[in-house]
Amino acid sequence: MISLRPARRTALLAAIAAMLAAPPAFAQSPPAVPVSVIAAARRDVPVVLGNIGAVQANQSAAIRPRVDGMLDQVLFTEGQEVRKGDLLARLDPRPYQAALDQATARRAVTEATLANARLNLARATDLARNQFASRQALDTAASQVAQLEAQSRADEAAVKSAQVNLDYTSITAPFDGRMGLRNIDPGNVVRFADNTNTAIATISQIHPIVAVFTLPQDALPAIQAAMARGKLPVAALSPDDRTILAQGELLATDSIIDATTGTIRMKAVFANRDTKLWPGQFVNIRLTLEVERGVITVPSSAVQRGPAGLFVYTINPDQTVALSPVELGQDDGTLAVIRRGLDEGARVVVAGQSRLRAGAKVTINTAPAAAPSAKDTPAPRPAG
């Protein structure tokens, strides 16, 4: 048996007593949870609807010949900006010039014959008045004049038709636009009535340009009410939502709702002076209906969803958290509008919620409170 000196025995007993007096580890309070916090603030927030849109040319036309013939000249370069009425191509005009000359000559013959017939009618009228010519001769002369007058009108129409065909050998731009790639080279014979008729090129108007997008039918009443107040601004953003490519306005809504999807098509127009939009391009569309003034906002990351609905964690004065139910307005994925349940200046948790429960102690890191700018704010999540 090992014997201890009295002093050592006393120290050992004191240590054991201290261990027995200490509370168990599981009885200790949990450590404070580190969180990021921001104060709810009042801001002017635009009411925005958005979805993916497809850019289209404001006008587009396939440049095809309207008469048959050999393509003599192509007078545009691929990608060239042209104005309405600019000469784009020319067919060989000689066959149509010959047809016009022939029609003009035929009209001249008819007019000369008509002039002689009118003289004969005048003579027959004088003779019949003096009873030196029969009534039948007068009627024959009048009929001859009427026939020749009708032939003259037909000849005049033939001249105009030949002139139109000759004019069609010069192909001009139907509107201001940008020429596409050339499909037919000079020297090829082109035909107007050929079902496989290939366009010489395509012209597209991209100044201005339009974008077509869809929105849910439930948004239509609000859109119509906003349109009644004035023009609605529309922004076209890059697919990554980081760059505003163009600013424009809503042009029109479709006249029918798509029953299969429950959406309605919209068209927006953009000046596109810097040509950042291109036909066939996909962009994110942001339609602003109005601006809500002085509403309470928090970052979208602060809003949580629970069994009873939406809520945020607010910070009490004693550095504990409380679960505060809220009624949400617009949420664009970056900034959420709080309709009810939160006061201005209330501190809400924006990061670290996964470890929180009501009454939990926290340590606070203040999150940056700068309002997102129009350039940095992402476009709304696609609707519908």
Report CA-CA distances (Å) from 135 to 120, 130, 147, 155, 315. Answer: 14, 11, 18, 30, 118
Rounded-to-integer distance, Cα 287 and Cα 213, Å: 10
pLDDT for the residue numbered 370:
45
**Is a pLDDT exceeding 70 seen at residue 83?**
yes
pLDDT for the residue numbered 18:
59
pLDDT for the residue numbered 21:
56
**Is a pLDDT exceeding 90 seen at residue 195?**
no
> Which position has the higher pLDDT, 135 or 155?
155
pLDDT for the residue numbered 5:
62
Q: If DSSP codes are grouped into helix, strand and coil, which group holds residue 31? A: coil
Instruction: Tell me the mean pLDDT in the region 49-53.
Output: 93
Q: If DSSP codes are grouped into helix, strand and coil, which group holds residue 228? A: helix
Rounded-to-integer distance, Cα 200 and Cα 182, Å: 6
Q: Specify the CATH number of the domain 33-43+294-366.
A: 2.40.420.20
Q: What mean pLDDT is reported for the chain?
A: 87
Q: What is the DSSP string of 159-217?
A: HHHHHHHHHHTEEE-SSSEEE----S-TT-EE-SS-TTPPPSEEEEEEEEEEEEEEEEG
Instruction: Residue 354: count other Cβ atoms within 10 Å of its Cβ.
Output: 7
pLDDT for the residue numbered 29:
65
**Is a pLDDT exceeding 60 seen at residue 248?**
yes
Rounded-to-integer distance, Cα 359 and Cα 213, Å: 47
∠ CA 69-75-76, rounded to 5°? 125
**Is a pLDDT exceeding 80 seen at residue 135?**
no
21-33 pLDDT, tens per residue? 555 554 556 788 8
Percent of the chain with pLDDT over 90: 65
Instruction: Tell me the mean pLDDT in the region 205-232.
Output: 95
Q: Do domains 50-58+205-292 and 93-168 have the same CATH topology?
A: no
| Banded pLDDT at 1 (limits 50, 70, 90) | very low
- Residue 158's region, left for phi above 0, alpha for psi from -120 to 50, else beta, is alpha
Instruction: Tell me the mean pLDDT in the region 46-75.
Output: 94
257-297 pLDDT, tens per residue? 999 999 999 999 999 999 999 999 999 999 999 999 999 99
Instruction: Tell me the mean pLDDT in the region 214-237.
Output: 94
356-379 pLDDT, tens per residue? 888 889 888 766 654 444 434 444
- Tell the CATH topology of 93-168: Helix Hairpins (1.10.287)
pLDDT for the residue numbered 170:
96
pLDDT for the residue numbered 20:
58
| Residue spans per domain, the chain | 33-43+294-366, 50-58+205-292, 69-89+171-198, 93-168
> Which of 20-34, 108-122, 163-177, 232-246 has the weakest average pLDDT?
20-34
**Is a pLDDT exceeding 60 seen at residue 53?**
yes
> Which of 195-199, 214-218, 285-289 has the weakest average pLDDT?
195-199
142-190 pLDDT, tens per residue? 888 899 999 999 999 999 999 999 999 999 999 999 999 999 999 999 9
CATH code 1.20.1600.10 for 50-58+205-292: no
pLDDT for the residue numbered 42:
93
